[in-house]
Amino acid sequence: MKLKIGNEKMDMLKFKNLGNEREKIINSSYTDPVKYDYKLNELVNIIHPKKIKVVVSKIIVENLETKTFVLKPVKGVMPNFKAGQYIVLDVFKNNHVYKRSYSISSSPKDLDSYQITVKKVRNGIVSNYLLNEVKENMEFTIHGPFGEFTYNKIRDCHDVLALVGGSGITPIMSLARAINDQIEDFNLTIIYGENEEKELIFKKELDELASKNEKISVNYVLSDEKSSVYETGLISKEMISKYEVGKYSYFVCGPIHFYHHLNEIFKELDVPNKYIRHDIYKENEIELHHIEHTLKVITNDEEITIPCYEDEALSQAMEEANIDAPRRCLVGVCGYCRSKLISGKIKTDETCIREADKNYNYIHPCVSYPLSDVTIKLAK
Amino acid sequence: MNYDAIVIGAGNGGLIASLTLQKKGKKVLLLESHNTVGGVATSFIRGRFEFEASLHELCGFSNVLQEGEVYKLFKNLDLLDKVKMQDINETFHVISLDNKEEYTMPVGVENFINKMEEYVPNSKESMTSFFQLCEEIEEALQYLNDCHGKVDVNVLKEKYYNFMICASYSLEKVLESLKMPKKAREILSTYWVYLGSPSTEISFVHYASMIYSYVKLHPTISLKKSHELSMAIYEEFLKSNGEAKLLTTVNKIIVEDNEVKGVITSDGKTYYAKIVIANVSPNLVYGKLIEKDKVPKKARQLTNARILGARGICVYLGLNKSPEELGLKNYSYFIYHTLDSKKEFERMKKLKNDNMVGVVINNAVPNASPKGTTILYLTGLLFSDIFSNIANKDNYFELKDAIAQNFIEVFEEATNTNISDAIEEIEVATPLTFARYTNHPDGVIYGYLAKKSDNLLPRMMNKDAEEYIKGLYFAGGFANRLDGYSSTYKSGEMVALEALDKEGGK
Contact A380 B246 (CB under 8 A): yes
Q: What is the CATH number of the domain that holds A315?
A: 3.10.20.30
Of the residues A146, A180, A201, the one at which a domain ends: A146
A256 and A203 assigned to the same domain? yes
Of the residues A88, A113, A146, the one at which a domain ends: A146
Neighboring chain B residues of A49 at a CB cutoff of 8 Å: none
A163 and A277 assigned to the same domain? yes
Instruction: List, for chain A, all residue ranges whose pLDDT scores fall below the cut of 70.
Output: 6-13, 283-289
Name residues 286-315 of chain A within 8 A of B (Cβ): 300
A218 and A259 assigned to the same domain? yes
Question: pLDDT, tens digit, for every residue of B41-50?
Answer: 999 999 999 9
A166 and A272 assigned to the same domain? yes
B243 to chain A, minimum CA–CA distance in Å?
Answer: 8
SS3 for A340? strand
B210 and B241 assigned to the same domain? no
Of the residues A146, A175, A208, the one at which a domain ends: A146
Q: What is the CATH number of the domain that holds B17?
A: 3.50.50.60
pLDDT at B149: 66
Cα–Cα distance between A354 and A357 in angstroms, integer? 5
A141 and A165 assigned to the same domain? no
Contact A31/B at CB under 8 A: yes
Domain count, chain A: 3
B482 and B496 assigned to the same domain? yes
The distance from CA A16 to its chain's CA centroid, rounded to whole angstroms, is 57
* Cβ proximity of B492 and B23 under 8 Å: no
Please enumerate in sequence order all residues whose Cβ is within 8 A of that of B406, keeping only pairs 6 or more positions apart, or say none. B352, B354
CA distances from A98 to A101, A102, A310, A369 (A): 10, 13, 20, 19
Question: pLDDT, tens digit, for every residue of B434-457?
Answer: 999 999 999 999 999 999 899 999
A269 and A172 assigned to the same domain? yes
Contact B168 A18 (CB under 8 A): yes
ipTM of the complex: 0.95
B257 and B296 assigned to the same domain? yes
- Nearest to residue B279, comparing CAs of B485, B9, B87, B51? B9
Q: What is the CATH number of the domain that holds A241?
A: 3.40.50.80
**Is 50 exceeded by the pLDDT of residue B506?**
no
pLDDT at A286: 47
Cα–Cα distance between B172 and B254 in angstroms, integer? 44
C-alpha distance across the termini of chain B, in Å: 23
Kindly state whether residue B322 falls inside one of the protein's structural domains: yes
Query: For testing the chain A interface, which of B55, B126, B159, B231 should be mutated: the one with the most A CBs within 10 Å?
Result: B231
B349 and B412 assigned to the same domain? yes
Of the residues B438, B472, B496, the one at which a domain ends: B438
Kindly state whether residue B491 falls inside one of the protein's structural domains: yes
What string of H, E and C letters represents the secondary structure of B41-110? CCEEEECCEEEECCCCCECCCECCCCECHHHHHHHHCCCHHHCCEEECCCCEEEEECCCCEEEEECCCHH
Kindly state whether residue B94 falls inside one of the protein's structural domains: no
B334 and B392 assigned to the same domain? yes
B293 and B383 assigned to the same domain? no
Name residues 63-102 of chain A within 8 A of B (Cβ): 79-80, 82
Kindly state whether residue B290 falls inside one of the protein's structural domains: yes
Contact A34 B46 (CB under 8 A): no
Kindly state whether residue B484 falls inside one of the protein's structural domains: yes
Of the residues B185, B217, B249, the one at which a domain ends: B217
A271 and A187 assigned to the same domain? yes
Kindly state whether residue A44 falls inside one of the protein's structural domains: no
Contact B102/A at CB under 8 A: no
Neighboring chain A residues of B157 at a CB cutoff of 8 Å: 12
A168 and A259 assigned to the same domain? yes
Domain count, chain B: 3
Question: pLDDT, tens digit, for every residue of B281-292?
Answer: 999 999 999 999
Query: Mean pLDDT score of chain B, rounded to an integer?
Result: 95
Question: pLDDT, tens digit, for every residue of B114-143?
Answer: 999 999 999 999 999 999 999 999 999 888
Please enumerate in sequence order all residues whose Cβ is within 8 A of that of A300, keeping only pairs 6 or more positions apart, or say none. A380, B243, B245
- The string of DSSP letters for B101-153 reads EEEEE-SSHHHHHHHHHHHSTT-HHHHHHHHHHHHHHHHHHHHHHHTTT---H
Contact A1/B at CB under 8 A: yes
A141 and A58 assigned to the same domain? yes
B384 and B358 assigned to the same domain? yes
Kindly state whether residue A65 falls inside one of the protein's structural domains: yes
Contact B70/A at CB under 8 A: no
Contact B454 A46 (CB under 8 A): no
Domain enclosing residue B315, as ranges = 310-438
Name residues 330-359 of chain A within 8 A of B (Cβ): 335-336, 338, 351-357, 359
- 3-state DSSP helix/strand/coil % of chain B, to nearest 5: 45, 20, 35
Range with the poorest average pLDDT among A51-55, B25-29, B85-89 = B85-89
B153: left (phi over 0), alpha (psi -120 to 50) or beta: alpha
B132 and B209 assigned to the same domain? yes
Kindly state whether residue A177 falls inside one of the protein's structural domains: yes
Nearest CA in chain A to B370: A273
Q: Quick one: which H or E segment has residue B173?
A: helix B171-177
Kindly state whether residue A41 falls inside one of the protein's structural domains: no
Cα–Cα distance between B86 and A83 in angstroms, integer? 41
Kindly state whether residue B100 falls inside one of the protein's structural domains: no
Of the residues B217, B247, B281, the one at which a domain ends: B217
A233 and A343 assigned to the same domain? no
Nearest to A36 among B168, B287, B432 (CB): B287
Name residues 11-30 of chain A within 8 A of B (Cβ): 11-12, 14-15, 17-19, 21-23, 25-27, 29-30
SS3 for A304? strand
Q: What is the CATH number of the domain that holds B204?
A: 1.10.405
B124 and B213 assigned to the same domain? yes
B121 and B187 assigned to the same domain? yes
Nearest to A80 among B46, B397, B458 (CB): B397
pLDDT at B147: 78
Q: Quick one: which H or E segment has residue A40?
A: helix A39-47
B255 and B289 assigned to the same domain? yes
A299 and A276 assigned to the same domain? no
A142 and A171 assigned to the same domain? no
- Nearest to residue B277, comparing CAs of B263, B256, B292, B295? B263
* Cβ proximity of B153 and B176 under 8 Å: no
Contact A40 B435 (CB under 8 A): yes
Nearest CA in chain A to B136: A1
Kindly state whether residue B199 falls inside one of the protein's structural domains: yes
* Cβ proximity of B471 and B498 under 8 Å: no
* Cβ proximity of B33 and B247 under 8 Å: yes
Contact B225/A at CB under 8 A: yes
Query: For testing the chain B interface, which of A9, A15, A340 should be mutated: the one with the most B CBs within 10 Å?
Result: A15
Domain enclosing residue A220, as ranges = 159-281
